[in-house]
Chains A and B, each alone.
Chain A
Amino acid sequence: MGLGLLASRALRPAASRLLRYPPRHGLARAIGSTPERQSPEASAAQAQPDPAPELPPRKPVAGARVHLPNPEDAIEVFVDGYPVKIPKGMTVLQACEVAGVDIPRFCYHNRLSIAGNCRMCLVEVEKSPKPVASCAMPALPGMKIKTDTPIAKKAREGVMEFLLMNHPLDCPICDQGGECDLQDQSMAFGSDRGRFTEVKRSVVDKNLGPLVKTVMTRCIQCTRCVRFATEIAGVQDLGVLGRGSGEEIGTYVEKLMTSELSGNVIDICPVGALTSKPFAFKARNWELKGTETIDVTDAVGSNIRIDSRGPEVLRILPRLNEDINEEWISDKTRFCYDGLKRQRLNDPMIRGADGRFQAVSWHDALAMVGEVIHKVGPEEIVGVAGKLSDAESMMALKDFLNRMGSNNVMCEGNGKHPNADLRSGYIMNTGIAGLEKADVFLLVGTQPRVEAAMVNARIRKTVRATHAKVGYIGPPTDSNYDHEHLGTGPQTLTELAEGRHPFCSTLKNAKNPAIIVGAGLFEREDSDAIFSAIETIAKNGNVVRPDWNGYNVLLLHAAQAAALDLGLVPQSPDSIKSAKFVYLMGADDINLKDIPDDAFVVYQGHHGDQSVYRANVILPASAFSEKEGTYENTEGCIQQTLPAVPTVGDARDDWKIVRALSEVAGVQLPYDSVGGIRSRIWTVAPNLVSVDEREPTTFSTTTMRPNTNQKISPNDFGMAVENFYMTDAITRASKIMAQCSAMLLKK
């Protein structure tokens, strides 16, 4: 892809947005203001002469949608004279949002419980003697809400003044500056002068670990962080101490925040009290270029925004995607980015006779590989795709090695004899958001908390909201919701399959039972037998019905689903033990001892990780933040990464390297553009081409899979992920992740 194409791609969203929504007024959009409110005369002129019917309908804030489950429960309220229909039970603040009025707030957050303690959201309600806190007040039929009367404005101004009394004036050295709710709202609603002459209070900073920096004097006691920790993250670490002006947020005793979601408190803290430690004083947020892309450190495919300046990734923030990660991301996703600049491979290299690597030109490196690959027999060639590979490069690798005569192309983590036939056999059929409908979970050999933190957050959300039951089979684990530990290994599974276990009746009586199987089981020798036992359980428990497919596999790596879709299935499971030529495309977690000593190993990848020690030739490739690539997450949703920063040194996109090599080796692949490779993918797995879609599966494995005569071995299930913070080449190169594993994973 040329630079021009890149540039046009980067420009496209901005340009089209400009065209579609011409700026309606000269000012940039200020928080809490509708266009009408920015010119009071205009709105007054509009609102006064003619009542309801002829008013132009206002747009709900941020495209908020109202879902009216049954129309009888709808009530009508008036916001600044505009009638709106809302379901019963909404708060005044939500009603205002539907009516298109953004109410200023600090403590209210729509995914957390309501605290009602900052008072910033005061509005006037007719017949109420005092302004009311709209976030905590349920809307009642016929309520007349006024959001921009002098009383409401004065109330906000007063609250603002009190909040600023004890808030330090350190915006110039505060990392939140520029994206601070307090800053924005004091500009929009605060007074233009201060009356405060006393001494401000100060609070001792807390140590929350290597990720979250605290400046507690800035805290406005909104308690969002406390509610996040207890409700979403499920750790009871944070709390409020003291009263009145002595009130502070802390951990009671000196304690680190040990949650895999702790980084999210940085986003929800409306002020600069909780900020990112690794990002501290690195940049101002307005200097950064944001690139909307996705995360590849686990199989969830969280939507992220990479903020970069020049060639450097400076931070990673979550993007809203209700179906996948809501608005949270795990700490690994958020803080792995410093691994992107350490240990990078930037030149093609050949290992000389003395065992040292020598930087060479691409031409020489490819020529050498092209020569060697012809000296070995076709069945001695083996290709392994790594856990971070994108679909395009896996397609190219498979096609290339197929053309060389080898049928042994596999992907890390999928085990020796993966069954890639039916998609429903290896994806999460309910979808991540669909898990919320389940009322009983059976986790088999999976610890979602470390394998896919966002999926775990969904399960926790469901358990909290509906008291869904969770049964778990596997080694003892530290889970943040109530669960019943049914057993540690296949024995319990057999009992369940034969209906001898008490949990069977729970499963049978459930309305929407969900079974979640860990992809760690793929690696077991008896995986076929295990999966057929699980399918029996699914059949007996009525888990798969036409209207509900509760049979789920929770994958571990970003590449897994796409690899199976593309059919990266090795012909002979142990081919690597007799290989003479091994092509590792970012594969760092295979057992290097399996590779025979006389084999020629090509390592193509972006990090000098484990496999480099065994490589004969190194071909440097670009990382996920530097390329455009297609990934399929564990629920089968196709998403693409976009290049946020230029790649390092002489590295190239994975698929381009394979394409170039195919030409040198004399088996030129028939495509030489991303478009070309995608049309090729379209003839293998067309679902991989429909981006941002989840293709439903037609057939369920529970009815289609042939019986197996494999025996289940009695060995207990293992842990698929030992260290949550370090699972791949990027996270292993990251210093922050190393600190986290040292401090937070105390055994």
Chain B
Amino acid sequence: MAWRGQLTKNLRELRFLFCQSSPASSSARSFVENNYKELKTLNPKLPILIRECRGTEPQLWVRYDFGVEKGIRLEGLSEEQIFKALKEFAKL
């Protein structure tokens, strides 16, 4: 779990995009709802942008130094799977 406090080491920005109501986005929504506070407390300096827009596919984007970005679709992913994806991103 320690890696969750180390996000700022490689990541410069974290972005969750989802739709406010669609069922496809529900897992992303609940992930943010359950984990945002903890992630932000552990990484107070990291911008965790939560952006909602009707009809958007749930996505997670990360930005590294030199503007390199990586993204993943979150549709159908469980909370653990999202954490796993985030961990992968943070490792790089």
Give A residues with C-beta under 8 Å from B: 378, 399, 402-405, 407, 420-423, 565, 567, 569, 571, 667, 683-687, 689-690, 693, 695-699, 704-707
Contact = CB atoms under 8 A, between A and B. Distances in A.
Contacts of B13: 567, 569
A741 B49 CA distance: 40
B65 A695 contact: no
Contacts of B65: 378, 405, 407
B33 interface: yes
A687 B49 CA distance: 13
B45 A571 contact: yes
Which of B44, B45, B53, B61 has the most chain A CB atoms inside 10 A of its CB?
Answer: B53
Contact of A683 (B37, B40, B44, B71): B71
Interface string B66-78: 1101010000000
A634 B54 CA distance: 19
Nearest to A400: B67
Counting chain B CB atoms within 10 Å of each CB, the highest count among A378, A423, A699 belongs to: A699
Interface string B35-52: 011001100110111111
Contact of A698 (B45, B48, B52): B52
Given A402-B67, A684-B15, A695-B54, A706 B20 contact: no
A588 B63 CA distance: 29
Contacts of B40: 421, 705-706
Contacts, number: 87
Contacts of B18: 698
Most buried by A among B17, B36, B52, B65: B52
A686 B56 contact: yes
Contact of B20 (A403, A698, A704, A705): A698
B44 A420 contact: no
A667 B66 CA distance: 10
23 contacts: A378-B65, A378-B66, A402-B63, A405-B65, A420-B47, A421-B40, A421-B47, A565-B51, A569-B13, A571-B45, A683-B59, A683-B61, A683-B71, A686-B51, A687-B52, A693-B54, A695-B54, A697-B20, A698-B50, A699-B33, A706-B37, A706-B41, A707-B41
Interface residues of B, number: 32
Contacts of A698: 18, 20, 29, 50, 52
B32 interface: yes
Nearest to A687: B53
A703 to B, nearest CB: 9
Given A402-B63, A403-B67, A567-B47, 18 more contacts: A378-B65, A378-B66, A402-B66, A420-B49, A421-B40, A423-B52, A565-B51, A667-B67, A683-B17, A684-B61, A685-B53, A686-B56, A687-B51, A699-B50, A704-B37, A705-B37, A706-B37, A706-B44
B50 A423 contact: yes
6 A-B pairs with least C-beta separation:
A402-B67, A686-B53, A403-B67, A706-B41, A687-B53, A569-B47
Chain A binding site: helix, strand, loop or mixed by DSSP? Answer: loop
A697 B52 CA distance: 7
Nearest to A417: B45
Interface of B: 12-13, 15, 17-18, 20, 29, 32-33, 36-37, 40-41, 44-45, 47-54, 56, 59, 61, 63, 65-67, 69, 71
A695 B48 contact: no
Nearest to B38: A706
Contact of A407 (B12, B32, B54): B12
Contacts of B32: 699
B67 to A, nearest CB: 3
A565 B13 CA distance: 13
B66 A405 contact: yes
Contacts of A667: 67
Contact of A690 (B15, B33, B44, B53): B53
Given A405-B65, A567-B47, A698-B52, A686 B33 contact: no
A695 B63 contact: no
A667 B65 CA distance: 14
Contacts of B17: 683, 686
Contacts of A378: 65-66
A93 to B, nearest CB: 39
Contacts of A402: 12, 63, 66-67
A403 B29 contact: no
A379 to B, nearest CB: 10
Nearest to B61: A683
A162 to B, nearest CB: 56
Contact of A685 (B29, B36, B48, B49): B49
Contacts of A693: 54
B37 A685 contact: no
Contacts of B67: 399, 402-403, 667
Contacts of A403: 66-67
